Structure 1
Amino acid sequence: MSERSRPYQPSLLRLLHAANALVVLCAWLSAILVYNTYDRRFVQLPLPEIPGTIDIHGTFAVGLLLTLPPFALYSFHLGSKRLIQSDSWRQLKHLDRPSGRYALHRIANTLILLATTLAFVSGRMMKEDWLPQGNLQELWYTIHLWGWVIVGIAIALHIALGIWVGGIALMRSMVSWRMRENDTPQTWWQQVQRIWKP
């Protein structure tokens, strides 16, 4: 595969994606620990109880406050072609074609952003003493719980569809250190400025 035909992702996208993905994954895993410690209504996992799981999860929530807004801003502006489009639902009729598969992948990308935002906002609305006191019926906790369930499903879809759409080459392009001459960190500010240009 030649250099030009190899999939390439903008370096700023890779940086923001990696930072956000790492924090979301840590928040999701710590959410499982919190659920397994205080809830267990639907399933109980054979995991050790770790003291301070709520604080650990809250720390990653603070991290999400730092990584999610810039990633969402990039995604909805410079990276908007990777999100759901006006014709995405219509193209789902053609999953045997690349256009249909790309449409499904864009929907999954959008779902991750929306579900992560829902989980983050609902988490900020919760009180830390709800779970230790057994208040499992609180509306914001229910929304928060299902938000993280949807995030987990969306991540699995995102990875599976990414492989289906672009194969291993696409996945490698998201973690590659390779940069083109016109896409170095020195050009990031110029890219960001395009967000506010009409």
Structure 2
Amino acid sequence: MSGSAPYQPLLLKIIHGVSAILAIAAMVTGFLVYNTFDGRFGKVPIPRIDQIIDIHGTFAVFFFVVFPALALYSFHAGNKKLLQKDSLQNLSQVSKPIWWVSLQRIANTLMLIAGFLAVLSGRMMKEEWLPTRQLNEIWYSLHLISWVFIVCCFALHILMSSKVGGAPLLLSIFSLNVRPQDSPKQWSTRLRNWLSNLSATSEGRIHHLMQNNFPLNIIEIIVLAGILTALILPLFFSGD
């Protein structure tokens, strides 16, 4: 299904690349945390890493810092690669090109949902739970579920991107080609234009919400609200 080499905007390559590295590191170290302190559902016989919680937490915090930028870029500049109004309907056209494209868009959207679930549940955890064997805490259970979810979504994201775009799409992420209109010098102008669009009247925003991919707009609100909750909510439980 791959054609000519696609072009990936520089800003997307930076945000996507950094997010991917941090997400992979968080997933790997997250499994090592589970393997070291839990292991109820099976474990791998590897050497214990005593500081693995701190290592995992460091990667998770950096991912949390970058994730809002990835979400905002994806829901706006990259919204064509996310869930569309007809994506679910197109799933009836099994094995046709639009079926694979729709699967890819759904996988990309699920990846953002999985990311917000992981950061929210992770932010609500406390470092002392696992060393003291408090394995039944609800936020830890949710974090385990979110780990499984994000690993599955990440695999699906890679699989669908490979199927739809093939090697050219995957290699375009590492391409050093930058178009003049994509220069960092243009980023401030694009940011001002985007902010000015957000300052539209309430009536205009509601009309846009209802007429332009309503399901995706709802998912965007949920994800961004989840990120904000992950930032604020732990402050109220820090003394527990």
Displacement of 1:56: 0.6
* 1:39-67 deviation per Cα after TM superposition (whole angstroms, max 9, x unaligned): 10112112211121111111112101221
Q: Residue 138 of structure 1 aligns to which amino acid in structure 2? A: E
Q: Following TM superposition, by how much is the alpha carbon of 1:137 offset from its aligned partner in structure 2, in angstroms?
A: 1.0
Q: Which amino acid aligns with 2:195?
A: W
Q: Deviations over 1:154-196 (max 9, x none)?
A: 1111111111001100101112111112212212223333432
User: TM-score normalised to the size of structure 2?
Assistant: 0.78
Q: Does the CA-based 8 Å contact 2:4-2:168 persist in structure 1?
A: no
Provide the aligned C-alpha RMSD in A. Answer: 1.4
Does the CA contact (< 8 Å) of 2:13 and 2:173 recur in 1?
A: yes
- After TM superposition, the score normalised by the length of structure 1 is 0.94
Matches within 5 A, 1:58-73: 58-73=57-72
SS in 2 for 1:94: coil
Structure 1: gaps spanning 5 or more residues? none
In 2, are the aligned partners of 1:116 and 1:148 still within 8 Å (CA)?
A: no
Per the alignment, do residues 189 and 98 of structure 1 end up closer, same or farther by CA in structure 2, a change over 3 Å counting?
Answer: farther
Contiguous gaps of at least 5 residues in structure 2: 198-240
Match of 2:82 in 1: 83
Report the Cα distance in structure 2 between the residues aligned to 1:10 and 1:157, rounded to whole angstroms: 23
1:1-198 alignment, distance < 5 Å: 5-198=4-197
Rounded to whole Å, the distance in 2 between the matches of 1:190 and 1:24 is: 30
For 2:112, give the aligned amino acid: L
Q: Which amino acid aligns with 2:144?
A: L
1: CA distance between counterparts of 2:170 and 2:188?
Answer: 26
Is the partner of 2:180 in helix, strand or coil? Answer: coil
Residue 97 (structure 1) shift: 1.9
2:235 counterpart residue number: none
